[in-house]
């Protein structure tokens, strides 16, 4: 459970209807199998001790007595196992029959969660045999033990803060007010569901959206175990459609019509963090449900779930294209409103032939089209200086021409040289002063041009640069509206690629493809043999790594050691452990030290769940200390040694 990851399983055993001995044997066999895989929470289907489709056989004492015996046998089978197991069973209490999910741990039955909503429509007729569960939990005496019985029991490991599990049964989650709502409000971070949901056309996709939606709404992990082959096919077919979801995302899903086990790891600490940030998640003021302690050994969970190495970029081509179109529209709509509100007659974009300024120019053209403004009112300014290469210069000029903007060239080498002389800086000293003087001169040029043409300077810097502080303060850091401010570098690349793929101008398409092939560089140092001498990623690290760090640091509040751990999985085969560690250390240091640049950012539209606006998503003091985060990361190396 290190870092909050706990391995869980949803299991559908082979069963025979009303053959308790066979079913019990199969359940125990699967418990053994899941133990070998390291699962700590295992969920079986509804009424799997007997089979869900027993019908009026549930009125037979012999079946119910054997079911009770079978349940205690399964409980005994968990005696030496470090896990919490949920098994569906019928249970008679005070002469009435209930549909329950029994929680088993270390040889004992911890509690019986009763089914709250009994379906009695369509193919379901549960009220014929079963009673609704009571409104409140109480203890019942069974085999000489007092066991909690009732709705919404919550099982917690006191030594593992945040790990709390509650159960509901099949129809409960389909109801208007699922019992899991109250359980989550009281602190349950994982919900399990023992289910017997039959297969009909279209039901699987609805079931998937239901489980994903419930896990998102409750900000929880959700383990759904469904009945499968072996149930009676007199009128119905069950497909064993098991699912494991976490906060709206399916982590694992079974292939239907094949009994078996699915596994994944739920990050329960992430659920706690998400709820803490989400002010509309209403936690209960007092505990009204029954909380039951159980024991699990704390250990490191081997991860099998996947972590996308490019979390800002959808992996599937269709979804990626849809996302790109939506982002371009958000950017353009934001700029459209700002241009209209300020009655700007033009827009000024400093273009370098690099990715960021290319995207800013594309967005500006889109905004002008939406406003019905002539693109000739877009002033694209190229400002060659000491580090400008022919390749980027040509691309910038061609791009402006093909987009219908007016190209202005303002060489700044002379003015920067004079400025450096005025402040007594040796022109051969290529330190940060030499570099930043160029960036600030370019900003002054486009700001003054904007004044000339009653226009607005459109910012080009992206979110990845802002996170690292890789921008010249009051240089490229400043604009009148920053259209790329919440777009990470890895996504900038895909946005430009999408525009190139979908534009009809072949020349523009080729220019954009060449921009994509150009190394990322501020071009502030003189070229070597006509080629770019200064590559950003050689200096601050690969942007795909930094975007990964940024996503998990801001979106989920992961500590650096945890980010390092999952980064090793995500980038296996791409970067070695030392490289990941090195650049994560750089990220932590720069993210804290460069906050002062983010504290005075220009306005710009938010496009995704992660943003750095000091007026919105990220309000951090500029002088916050990074020591805790750096030390947390360094423990990784200390433990290794």
Q: Which residues are catalytic?
A: 46, 115, 170
Structure tokens at 592: 């804290």
Count the Cβ atoms, other than its own, within 10 Å of residue 33. 15
CA atoms within 13 A on the CB side of 407: 20
Nearest to 538 by CA among 579, 572, 578, 496: 579
Q: How far is CA 465 from each of CA 260, 311, 543, rounded to the nearest angstrom?
A: 47, 17, 9
Give Cβ neighbours of residue 247 (< 8 Å, ≥ 6 apart): 215, 216, 219, 220, 221, 270, 271, 274
Q: Are strands 84-93 and 41-43 parallel, antiparallel or unpaired?
A: parallel
CA 77 – CA 269 distance, rounded (Å): 30
Structure tokens at 89: 């069973």
Structure tokens at 176: 């208007």
Count the Cβ atoms, other than its own, within 10 Å of residue 55. 16
CA 366 – CA 292 distance, rounded (Å): 59
Q: φ, ψ for residue 315 (rounded to 5)?
A: -80, -30
CA 366 – CA 248 distance, rounded (Å): 33
Give Cβ neighbours of residue 399 (< 8 Å, ≥ 6 apart): 351, 353, 358, 361, 380, 508, 511, 512, 515
Strand order in the sheet with 108-114: 138-142, 145-150, 108-114, 96-105, 84-93, 41-43, 5-11, 261-267
CA atoms within 13 A on the CB side of 368: 24
Nearest to 20 by CA among 58, 100, 109, 235: 58
Structure tokens at 554: 């801001």
CA 523 – CA 350 distance, rounded (Å): 14
What are 264's strand-pairing partners?
8
Q: How far is CA 257 from each of CA 171, 204, 240, 248, 503, rounded to the nearest angstrom?
A: 20, 12, 6, 24, 45
Burial of 603 (0-12, 13-18, 19+ CB in 10 A): middle
Three-state secondary-structure class, residue 54: helix
What Rg do the C-alpha atoms of the chain give, in angstroms? 30
Three-state secondary-structure class, residue 427: coil
Contact 83, 39 (CB under 8 A): yes
Q: What angle do CA 110, 264, 546 make, to 5 degrees?
A: 130
Contact 469, 370 (CB under 8 A): no
């Amino acid at each position: 459970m290190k870092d909050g990851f706990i391995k869980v399983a949803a299991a559908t055993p082979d069963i025979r209807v009303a053959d308790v001995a066979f079913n019990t044997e199969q359940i125990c066999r699967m418990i053994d199998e899941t133990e070998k895989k390291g699962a700590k929470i295992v969920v079986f289907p509804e009424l799997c001790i007997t089979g869900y489709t027993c019908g009026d056989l549930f009125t037979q004492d012999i079946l119910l007595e054997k079911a009770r015996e079978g349940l205690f046998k399964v409980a005994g089978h968990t005696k030496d196992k470090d896990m919490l197991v949920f098994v569906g069973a019928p249970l008679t209490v005070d002469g009435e029959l209930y549909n329950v999910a029994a929680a088993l741990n270390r040889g004992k039955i911890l509690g019986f969660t009763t089914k709250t909503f009994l379906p009695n429509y369509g193919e379901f007729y549960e009220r014929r045999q079963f009673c609704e569960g009571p409104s409140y939990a109480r203890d019942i005496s069974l085999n000489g033990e007092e066991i909690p019985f009732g709705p919404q029991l919550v099982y917690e490991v006191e030594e593992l803060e945040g790990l709390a599990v509650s159960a509901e049964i099949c129809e409960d989650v389909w109801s208007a007010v699922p019992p899991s709502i109250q359980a989550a409000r009281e602190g349950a971070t994982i919900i399990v569901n023992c289910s017997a949901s039959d297969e009909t056309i279209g039901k699987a996709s609805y079931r998937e959206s239901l489980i994903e939606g419930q896990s998102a709404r409750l900000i929880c992990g959700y383990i759904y175990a469904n009945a499968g082959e072996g149930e009676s096919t007199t009128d119905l077919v069950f497909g064993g459609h098991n699912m494991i979801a976490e906060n709206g995302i399916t982590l694992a899903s079974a292939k239907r019509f094949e009994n078996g086990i699915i596994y994944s790891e739920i990050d329960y600490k992430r659920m706690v963090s998400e709820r803490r940030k989400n002010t509309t998640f209403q936690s209960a003021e007092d505990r009204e449900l029954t909380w039951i302690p159980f024991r699990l050994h704390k250990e490191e969970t081997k991860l099998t779930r996947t972590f996308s190495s490019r979390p800002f970029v959808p992996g599937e081509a269709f979804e990626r294209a849809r996302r790109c179109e939506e982002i371009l529209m958000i950017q353009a709509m934001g700029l459209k409103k700002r241009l209209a509100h300020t009655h700007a007659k033009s827009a000024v974009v400093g273009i370098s032939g690099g990715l960021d300024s290319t995207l800013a120019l594309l967005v500006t053209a889109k905004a002008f089209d939406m406003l019905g403004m002539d693109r000739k009112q877009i002033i694209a300014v190229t400002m060659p200086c000491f580090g400008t290469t022919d390749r980027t210069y040509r691309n910038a000029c061609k791009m402006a021409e093909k987009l219908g903007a007016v190209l202005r060239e303002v060489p700044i080498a002379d003015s920067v040289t004079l400025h450096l002389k005025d402040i007594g800086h040796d022109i051969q000293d290529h330190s940060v002063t030499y570099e930043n003087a160029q960036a600030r001169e370019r900003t002054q040029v486009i700001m003054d041009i904007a004044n000339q043409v009653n226009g607005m300077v459109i910012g080009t810097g992206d979110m990845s640069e802002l996170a690292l502080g890789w921008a010249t303060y009051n240089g490229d850091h400043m604009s009148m509206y920053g259209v790329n401010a919440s777009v990470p570098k890895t996504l900038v690349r895909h946005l430009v690629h999408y525009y190139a793929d979908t534009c009809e101008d072949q020349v523009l398409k080729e220019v954009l493809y060449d921009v994509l092939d150009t190394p990322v560089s501020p071009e502030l140092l003189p070229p070597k043999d006509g080629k770019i001498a200064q590559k950003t990623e050689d200096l601050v690290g690969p942007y795909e790594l930094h975007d990964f760090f940024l996503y998990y640091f801001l979106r989920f509040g992961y500590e650096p050691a945890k980010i390092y751990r999952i980064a090793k999985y995500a980038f296996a085969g791409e970067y070695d452990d030392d490289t990941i560690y090195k650049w994560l250390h750089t990220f932590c240091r720069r993210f804290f030290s460069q906050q002062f640049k983010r504290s005075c950012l220009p306005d710009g539209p938010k496009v995704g769940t992660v943003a750095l606006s000091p007026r919105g998503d990220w309000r951090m003091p500029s002088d916050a200390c990074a020591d805790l985060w750096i030390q947390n990361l360094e423990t990784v190396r200390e433990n290794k040694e």
